[in-house]
Chains A and B, each alone.
Chain A
Amino acid sequence: MQAHPISAGDRLRKWGRSVIRNRWLYLLILPALVYLIIFNYLPMYGVQIAFKNYKPVRGIAGSEWVGFKHFTTFFNAYYFGRLITNTLLLNVLSLLFSFPMPIFLALVVNNIRSQRLKKFTQTAIYVPHFISTVVLAGILYILLSPTNGIINHFLVALGGKSIYFMNEASWFRPVYIISGIWQNAGWDSILYIAALAGVDPELYEAATIDGANKWQKVRYIDFPHLVPTATMMLILNCGSLLSSATQKTLLLQTGGNMATSDIIGTYVYTMGLGSGQFSYTAAIGLFVNVINFILVLSANKISDRLQGETLF
């Protein structure tokens, strides 16, 4: 065997041949690539308007630079504190209350002994996920109506007072969070149920021989098996602490609950598309996206340190 020195030209030719051999692969990935470039990467290029004074006639590239003007305006605006607080509180509380539910559901479903009931329960708890946000909001408006909603009829029958749930600032977060749990807890339990299905049955047998009861099996076998999945879900959720919730909040926002329902996302929507303040709201959006990006990277790093579970 002789060792041939490989020249750069050789390597380039080899690479070229490999590219040609795989030409169909490039063709197959092309549509998705074009889509991402147009609808994800072009907007990233367009985000420069956050540092400009965007004028439609001059276009994205042609508008004049203004530096961090829009950012300082936002940080000094009197509603800045309210927007940040509302957004963070809504997302953090929502995460806090809705995170444990799917884990609990998975443990319950996993321990149903009748296979038919198990199957039925699984099918049923996934259904709310397929209802649109608009319809969910519609159901809430109807059932929580102060005059003819079933919940208020019930409250009044019990001797209580009718509550205007959808128009009171103090009720916005509970309504948002509880309806979110109703809609998504079942669906989010899928991953946990899948994780539990992968538990080695011998573990249960060994535990039975050791005299463990069912509570102990859940505590010491099932639960630890869910920790990696739970960590991953937590990381994923941390990345959207400032951004999610816009579409649903916009639907549940009313004149009466603005004090708690006014979040960054809906503000960007009304100011940007409603009043045409493109540059200013693009700056707010960029601010949120950068924070989210930092959050998800840090969460990933922390989870890596703690238990070697990472997303990427």
Chain B
Amino acid sequence: MSDVKTSMPRRQKEIRADRIFNVFVIVMVVLVLLITLYPLYLVIICSFSDPALVTSGQVTLYPRGMTLVGYRAVFQNRELIHSFFNSVIYTVSGTILSLVVTMGAAFTLSRKFPGKKLFSFIFAFTMFFNGGLIPTFLTVRDVGLYNKAMVCVIMGCVSVWNVMLARTYITSTIPEALYEAADLDGASQIQYFFHIVIPLSGTIIAVLSVYYGVARWNDYWTGLIYLNTRSLLPLQTILKEILASLESSRELLMSMVSDSAEQDAELLNRAQIAKYCIIVVSTVPAVVLYLCMQKFFVKGVMIGSVKG
């Protein structure tokens, strides 16, 4: 009897501890979501609001004085639009190239063949050592890729991490019995690759295309280092000049001057708003790609986390 009596309050205390725990979790979740999403929300509502209200800090919870002046300025800027399309071309062709090259290498490394150890070493070693910025730059120049649009398609087309991820996926999801069956039926390795491995690798291909696609879309470095003709630059390299500086961008102001003889302050405010709009326009493609492919992530990443 006494046993039951003493254990009752203890049990209740535990339940209370659990309740506090649940409340704590919810509070944390709300906090995390607020911190994560509010800056993004703020940028979006500001991009639609009256420039004067935004720069004086009066837009915080919802758009005020709805207007599209910022977006109009962005779409009137020829250079921005041109670089946007450059980026689309670089991203689409670069991602396709990456997928082909990565899946081929990943499949090979998932099989047993003479020299496998050597190949694996050649791949893995690049993850831990590299020649550095300057020797890489000189090499790119010496092979004739400097200031060629192709450099934005080729540079970064193989990520050894992604090759390892894909290899782990192939070894862990495609049963060896399938290979033996295909081999018995007289299929060559390349037939096996195209007719069995690729169709069964939808998940990892989706994950890889997001990784490669987003990395390429967001890359400003390649354009900055290896290109110097302005008309070839990808969007992010152009954005570096417009967004990542203390001054309001001269170029943005230029594209708006034609409107009319407005006050300088008004013009500056508009340039400020245009920055919000540029952020929205340049970020939407990457985020939308992620959201579309999102359902593949859990599985793809789980498999990647298995040490291979």
Using a CB–CB cutoff of 8 Å, the interface residues on chain A facing chain B are 15, 18-19, 22, 24-33, 35-36, 38-47, 49, 54, 59-60, 105, 108-109, 111-113, 117, 121, 123-128, 130-135, 137-139, 141-143, 147-150, 153-154, 166-167, 182, 186, 190-191, 194-195, 197, 211, 213-215, 229, 239, 247, 251-252, 254, 265, 268-269, 272-273, 278, 281-282, 285-286, 288-289, 292-293, 296-297, 312
B178 at the interface (CB under 8 A from A): no
Using a CB–CB cutoff of 8 Å, the interface residues on chain B facing chain A are 10-11, 14, 17-18, 21-22, 25, 28-29, 32-33, 35-37, 39-40, 42-43, 54-57, 60, 100-102, 104-105, 107-109, 111, 113-115, 119, 122-124, 126, 128-140, 142-143, 154-155, 157-158, 160, 163, 188-190, 193, 214, 217-221, 225, 236, 239-240, 242-246, 272, 275-276, 278-279, 282-283, 286-287, 289-291, 294, 297-298, 301-302, 305
A149 to B219, CA, bound (A): 26
Q: Which A-B residue pairs are the 6 nearest by beta carbons?
A: A43-B131, A138-B243, A285-B132, A153-B57, A132-B218, A32-B105
Chosen A-B contacts, 24 in total, with CB atoms closer than 8 Å, are A24-B189, A25-B107, A31-B104, A31-B105, A32-B105, A35-B101, A35-B157, A39-B140, A40-B126, A42-B143, A43-B139, A47-B132, A60-B138, A134-B239, A137-B243, A141-B243, A143-B42, A153-B57, A186-B36, A191-B301, A194-B298, A214-B22, A215-B21, A286-B132
Question: Are A130 and B214 in contact (CB-based, < 8 A)?
Answer: yes
User: Given A108-B32, A273-B137: A27 and B190 within 8 A (CB)?
Assistant: yes
Q: Which residues of A contact B33 (CB under 8 A)?
A: 121, 124-125
Q: Which residues of A contact B286 (CB under 8 A)?
A: 130-132
Residue with the highest number of chain B CB atoms closer than 10 Å, among A59, A117, A252? A117
User: Given A29-B109, A132-B218, A281-B134: A167 and B129 within 8 A (CB)?
Assistant: no
Q: Which residues of A contact B108 (CB under 8 A)?
A: 25-26, 28-29
Query: How near does chain B come to A121, taking the closest CB pair, in angstroms?
Result: 6
A32 to B157, CA, bound (A): 9
Residue with the highest number of chain B CB atoms closer than 10 Å, among A138, A214, A273? A138
Contact of A32 among B18, B101, B301 (CB under 8 A): B101
Question: Are B275 and A22 in contact (CB-based, < 8 A)?
Answer: no
Query: How near does chain B come to A179, taking the closest CB pair, in angstroms?
Result: 10
Question: Are A239 and B128 in contact (CB-based, < 8 A)?
Answer: yes
Contact of A46 among B102, B105, B138, B242 (CB under 8 A): B138
Question: Are A39 and B132 in contact (CB-based, < 8 A)?
Answer: no
Question: Are B279 and A138 in contact (CB-based, < 8 A)?
Answer: yes
Query: How near does chain B come to A248, taking the closest CB pair, in angstroms?
Result: 10
Query: How near does chain B come to A169, taking the closest CB pair, in angstroms?
Result: 14
A121 to B253, CA, bound (A): 39
A143 to B46, CA, bound (A): 11
Query: How near does chain A come to B164, taking the closest CB pair, in angstroms?
Result: 11
- Find the A residue at minimum CB distance from B108: A29
Q: Which residues of B contact A40 (CB under 8 A)?
A: 126, 130-131
Question: Are B21 and A25 in contact (CB-based, < 8 A)?
Answer: no
A145 to B288, CA, bound (A): 29
Residue with the highest number of chain A CB atoms closer than 10 Å, among B28, B43, B130? B130
Query: How near does chain B come to A89, taking the closest CB pair, in angstroms?
Result: 21
Q: Which residues of B contact A22 (CB under 8 A)?
A: 111, 113-114, 189
Query: How near does chain B come to A304, taking the closest CB pair, in angstroms?
Result: 14
Question: Are B32 and A105 in contact (CB-based, < 8 A)?
Answer: yes
A33 to B119, CA, bound (A): 8
Query: How near does chain B come to A128, taking the closest CB pair, in angstroms?
Result: 6
Query: How near does chain B come to A238, taking the closest CB pair, in angstroms?
Result: 12
Q: Which residues of A contact B246 (CB under 8 A)?
A: 141, 166-167, 254
A41 to B126, CA, bound (A): 8
Q: Other than the known A134-B239, A195-B305, what 12 A-B pairs have Cβ atoms closer than 8 Å?
A: A32-B123, A35-B158, A39-B155, A43-B130, A60-B138, A125-B36, A132-B218, A134-B220, A134-B236, A134-B240, A252-B244, A268-B134
